[in-house]
Amino acid sequence: MKTKIFGILAFVMVALAGTGIAYGHWYDYAYVNATITTGYLQVNLSDDTTPTISGGCTDCPSVVTATQSLSEEQSNTLDINITNAYPSIMVNGTFNIDNDGTVPAQLYSVTWTATDTDSAPGDINFVADGNGGWYLVDDGVNMMDITLTFTNSTGATVTPNEICVGNTIWGHWSISFLEPLEQGTTFWLSSTWTFQNCESDSAVTGTD
C-alpha cells in the first residue's frame, strides 16, 4: 500500500514541474534609443593682406616685390610670389585660417617640399632652425629661414591647437634670405598644412 501511494505522489510532482506553474515570472520592458549625428571638419584659408619687405639697402628704392593670393586653380591654397630676393632681405605676410566647420580644429602638422632651377630632385631639404621654423638647405648650406607665428583676434600670440567653431586665427609667415643664397635661381616651395579635430592633450596620438 505504501508503495502505491509513493508512486502516485511522484507522478504528481513531475506533472507540476512540466506545466511551469511553480516557476512562472512576470516581465515588463523599458527601451533606450540614441540618435548620433557627427560633425565635420572644414578649415579654410582667406587672404586680405599684401606682404611687406624689410632689410637690404635702405637708401635705395626697393627692387624686391612680393605678392600673395588665393589660388584660382587649387582650392584652399595660398600662392606667394617673391622676385629679386637677395641676402639680408626679409619678406613677411599674413593670412587667415577660418574654422568654417562644426567642430573645433587644430593644426596637426606642416610639411615642406622644394625644388629649384639647378638642383636634382630631392637635393633640397628642410631642417628645424631651433626657433620653431625651418631652414631651406641647398647644396649643404642654409639659404632661407622660414618662420610661422599665429595670433588671435586681439593680436595675442597663440598656438593653433584650439580654433573654435566660427573663429579665425591669423597665420604670419616670414622668409629671411641668408648670405649663401644662390644668384639667378628660382625656388619653388610647397607646404601642406594638416588640420584635425581638436583633441585634449591626453587624447592626441597621432594647403598652402
pTM greater than 0.75: yes
The pLDDT, as a whole number, for residue 73 is 84
H-only helix segments in 89-181: none
At residue 61, does pLDDT exceed 50? Answer: yes
For range 178-205, the mean pLDDT: 83
Mean pLDDT (the chain) is 85
Lowest mean pLDDT among 17-21, 107-111, 182-186: 17-21
In a domain, 122, yes or no: yes
Q: Give the whole-angstrom CA distance, residue 180 versus residue 192.
A: 26
- Would you place residue 106 in the very low, low, confident or very high pLDDT band (cuts 50, 70, 90)? very high
The DSSP letter of residue 21 is G
SS3 30: coil
Counted domains in the chain: 1
At residue 87, does pLDDT exceed 50? Answer: yes
In a domain, 26, yes or no: no
**Position of cell 642654409?**
142
**Position of cell 507522478?**
11
Q: Domain span at residue 152? A: 43-197
Q: Give the whole-angstrom CA distance, residue 197 versus residue 99.
A: 11
At residue 6, does pLDDT exceed 80? Answer: no
The pLDDT, as a whole number, for residue 22 is 55
Here the contacts of 60-67 (C-beta below 8 Å, separation 24 or greater) are 64/89, 64/91, 66/91, 66/93
- Would you place residue 5 in the very low, low, confident or very high pLDDT band (cuts 50, 70, 90)? very low
Q: Give the whole-angstrom CA distance, residue 181 versus residue 84.
A: 12
In a domain, 8, yes or no: no
In a domain, 33, yes or no: no
The pLDDT, as a whole number, for residue 208 is 37
At residue 203, does pLDDT exceed 90? Answer: no
The pLDDT, as a whole number, for residue 21 is 54
In a domain, 11, yes or no: no
- Residue 141's DSSP bridge partners are 138
- Residue 52's DSSP bridge partners are 92
**What is the tens place of the pLDDT at every residue in 131-161?**
989 999 998 999 999 999 999 999 999 999 9
